[in-house]
Amino acid sequence: MRIVVIGATGHIGSYLVPRLLAGGHEVVAVSRGVREPYLDAPEWARVEWIVLDRQAEEARGTFGSSIAEQRPHVVTVSAEDARLTEGHLAHSPCASIAKACRLLGYQPRYSSLEALRESLSGLIRSGKITGPALDPTG
């Protein structure tokens, strides 16, 4: 499985990436490129590195398309990052739900993270997504 890890050199990513690689997954590590991972492991030699500044890309409206260009099967982001900048979580492929609501003047009933969770839950219930589903916020 091709997995994009946003924040690959952070607290969680530093430990998650080597484990994913050890499990046989192909990993694309996304980071700002300003620090080394906390954990030095031989698996890091097999990582495909992408240097992106998420905030700068979000400001340009290109973060979602930059991630989509990596052709991921799964994209991971820490719950902390999701709380800080949840707008980047839902791109189709690069239009953020939160940004679209602001541009159109809609007052969302709930956050884009909750909208994403509801949408994914519907896909799981309909059988369009199979396998385990993890909710880091629940």
Listed in order, strand segments (DSSP E) in the chain are: 2-6, 26-31, 48-51, 74-76
State the average pLDDT for the chain.
74
Residue 29: pLDDT band (50, 70, 90) is very high
What domains, with CATH codes, occur in the chain?
Answer: 2-94 (3.40.50.720)
**Model pLDDT, residue 78:** 63
Report, in this order, helix, strand and coil percent for the chain, each rounded to 5. 45, 15, 45
Radius of gyration of the chain (CA): 15
Q: Which pair of structure tokens corresponds to residue 107?
A: 């007052």
Give residue 133's region: left, alpha or beta (phi > 0; psi -120 to 50).
Answer: beta
In the prediction, which pLDDT does 131 show?
61
Mean pLDDT of 45-53: 94
- Top pLDDT among 97 and 130 is at 130
Is the pLDDT at 116 greater than 70? The verdict is no
The model's pTM is: 0.60
